[in-house]
Amino acid sequence: MTDAGLYPSYVDLDPFIDTARLRSLDGYITERLERRLAEDLAFYTGPFLLDGTAPHLPGSKLVYLSRSSEPENYYDVDRTDLWRPSEEAGEFAELMAFIDTLPFKAKGRMIIMYDREGSAVSAHRDHDSVDLCHEFVWFRTNLDKPFYMLNPHSGEKLYVHSHAAWFDTVNQYHGGDATGALSFSIRVDGIFTDEFRSRIPFPAANRASAPALWAERQAAEA
Ligand SMILES: [Fe+2]
């Protein structure tokens, strides 16, 4: 771990995306996720419940908008040659069209993370390889779910106030508070365009800290 970079922090990517278009997808995505939830519910309980006690239904789910040709491996999220749009991508065609406007020259894993109950997401790191910097855009159509970055040394939390963000997933933690209602966010991994990359202060060591260095630079300029 390094002292360089700002923690907790995130890079606000709203200036680089069409937030009005993103917000306009809120109902479109919600409707489709609710339809999937209704199908999942039927799958988990069957049509005949013995009594009124519903079984525990897993809350947190993923919709894969792209699929890898290789077995599941977290370190493949940015191996863009492996990933192809999934069947579900057709169901979320308007979201896919929005994703095409993001600053990527190639895209890898694309997922919708959703939770029917809006449960809390425990603070976590995504991996522990400090030399690995995943280029991704995390985004959401509404600001309902409290989502935060956490400095593991100080315990300080910083809530994300933007629709879209890029953040250090290795040298700090991130998590979410409960909302009690359907919540979702989307993450697209890939390779940023050269133009977008030229803005990023990639460090020689601890490359995972690049978003924290960028956030530090932005804070200094503000
Ligand atoms: Fe995560």
Residue 5 located in a structural domain: no
Q: pLDDT value at position 39?
A: 77
Burial of 145 (0-12, 13-18, 19+ CB in 10 A): buried
Asked if the structure places residue 86 within a domain, the reply is: yes
Predicted confidence at residue 2, as pLDDT, reads 47
**pLDDT at site 219:** 92
What's the domain range around 184?
A: 11-45+57-221
With respect to residue 6, please indicate whether it lies within any of the assigned structural domains. no
Give me the CATH number covering residue 145: 2.60.120
- CA gap 167, 214 in Å, rounded: 9
Note down pLDDT in tens along the chain; length 222 residues.
Answer: 445 899 999 999 999 999 999 999 999 999 999 998 877 766 655 555 555 554 445 567 889 999 999 998 888 999 999 999 999 999 999 999 999 999 999 999 999 999 888 888 889 999 889 999 999 999 999 999 999 999 989 999 999 999 999 999 999 999 999 999 999 999 999 999 999 999 999 999 999 999 999 999 999 988
- Residue 68 bridge partners (DSSP): 83
Quote the pLDDT of residue 41. Answer: 66
Q: Give the pairing type, strands 157-159 and 183-192.
A: unpaired
Q: Is residue 23 part of a domain?
A: yes
34 alpha carbon – ligand 1 mean position (Å): 23
| Vertex 100 angle, CA 162 and 194, to 5° | 80
pLDDT tens digits along 69-123: 999 888 899 999 999 999 999 999 999 999 999 999 999 999 999 988 888 888 9
* Sequence-ordered strand ranges (E) for the chain: 11-12, 60-64, 66-68, 83-85, 104-115, 121-124, 135-139, 147-150, 157-159, 164-166, 173-176, 183-192
What is the per-residue pLDDT for 1?
45
- Number of domains the chain contains: 1
For ligand 1, the distance from its centroid to the CA atom of residue 50, given in whole angstroms, is 37
Residue 49 is predicted with a pLDDT of 52
**Residue 65: inside a domain:** yes
Is 4 contained in some domain? Answer: no
Share of the chain above pLDDT 90, in %: 77
The tokens for 164 are 């879209």
Is the peptide bond preceding residue 85 cis, with omega within 30 degrees of 0?
no
How far apart are the CA of 52 and the centre of ligand 1, in A?
Answer: 35
User: Residue 47 Cα, ligand 1 centroid: separation in angstroms?
Assistant: 35
Would 3 be classed as within a structural domain? no
Q: Are 8 and 150 in contact (CB under 8 A)?
A: yes
Write the CB contacts of 163 (distance below 8 Å, at least 6 apart in sequence).
14, 17, 19, 22, 23, 139, 140, 141, 143
- pTM of the predicted model over 0.85: yes
- Spatial separation of the C-alpha atoms in residues 36 and 32, rounded to whole Å: 6
For residue 158, report the distance from its CA to the centre of ligand 1, in Å.
Answer: 15
In a domain, 177, yes or no: yes
